[in-house]
Amino acid sequence: MRKLSLAIAMICAASVVAAEEITVAALGDSLTQGYGLRQSAGFVPQLADWLNAQGVTNVRLINAGVSGDTTAGGLARVDWTLTPDVDAMIVALGGNDLLRGIDPQVSRSNLKGILKAAQAADVDVLLIGLTAPRNYGPEYKQAFDAMYAELAEEYGALYLPSFFAGITGGTALRDTDPALVQPYMQFDGIHPNASGVRNIVAVVGPSVVELIALARK
């Protein structure tokens, strides 16, 4: 009888653990996808390892990064990214918008659509921004840099100002001393290497823990 009771208790405990699993989708571009890196060294796998090391368990991360994607691409994919099992979403888009010089108002509209979709699905969001370089001009830079914080406030999303903060300290990648960033970047100077991703995850990680806590409420 005691063994039976213990078995029932273990089954109940397992059910509770399973029910508490949180699924987080990481919607992004090549920075999220892990361009140029072995699979285990990309952003999502390293984030998963970091969470485990912090004792944050029962979390399933989905790599929804697509190399070359703009905010428009993310908006086009968001509805089928937000499957019923997704509890929270990391949104890290805008780098390719910058590279193409897309009007920040267009990028803003796309990000707004993504946040609206998440809100409609009752999915908590961490919005990770980027910083435009100074050579884009003050008007472009101000509009691009500001849109992330403003949209996060409007839609009640968590906000992290810069994906590259773990490498640059928060300044634009192009405006940071090359000697400081080179050890953490691939040869193209755009994508982080495995060490760079490790530094990025160390800064992004605490915000993801906060996102997971929100999703568990």
Give the three-state DSSP class for 56: coil
The whole-angstrom separation of Cα 100 and Cα 139 is 16
* 163 within 8 A of 144, measured Cβ to Cβ: no
CB burial string 47-66: b at 16+ within 10 A, e below: bbebbeeeebeebebbbbbb
- The residues assigned a catalytic role are 30, 188, 191
Q: Estimate the share of the chain in helix, then strand, then coil, as percent rounded to the nearest 5.
A: 60, 15, 30
190 C-beta neighbours (distance < 10 Å), count: 16
* 118 within 8 A of 55, measured Cβ to Cβ: no
The whole-angstrom separation of Cα 107 and Cα 71 is 6
127 C-beta neighbours (distance < 10 Å), count: 27
